[in-house]
Amino acid sequence: MTPPLALDIDGTLTTPRGTIDPRVFDVLPAWDAPVVLATGKAFPYPVALCHFMGIPQTVIAENGGVVLADERVSFTGDRERAQAVADDFRARGGSLGWGAADTVNRWRETEIAVDMAQDEDLLRTVADEYEMEVVDTGYAYHVKSPGVEKGVGLVEVADILGLDTADFVAVGDSENDVSTFGVAGESYAVANADEKARAAADTVLDEGYMDGTLSVLEAVADR
Ligand X SMILES: O=C(O)COP(=O)(O)O
Catalytic sites, residue numbers: 8
Return the number of other C-beta atoms located less than 10 Å from residue 186's C-beta: 17
Contact predicate 214/196, CB 8 Å: no
DSSP type of residue 4: P
Contact predicate 95/87, CB 8 Å: no
- Give residue number: closest CB to Mg ion: 11
C-alpha to C-alpha distance for 173 and 196, rounded to whole angstroms:
9
When the beta carbons of 46 and 94 are compared against ligand X, the nearer one is 46
188 forms part of the interface with ligand X (CB under 6 A): no
Q: What counts of helices (H) and strands (E) characterise the chain?
A: 8, 11
Q: Which of 4, 5, 8, 184 binds Mg ion (CB under 5 A)?
A: 8
When the beta carbons of 61 and 222 are compared against ligand X, the nearer one is 61
Span interacting with Mg ion, options 5-13, 28-36, 67-75, 142-150, rule CB under 5 A: 5-13
C-alpha to C-alpha distance for 156 and 176, rounded to whole angstroms:
17
When the beta carbons of 12 and 78 are compared against Mg ion, the nearer one is 12
Sites of contact with Mg ion (CB under 5 A): 8, 10-11, 173-174
Interacting residue ranges for ligand X, rule: CB under 6 A: 8-11, 39-41, 137, 139-140, 174, 176
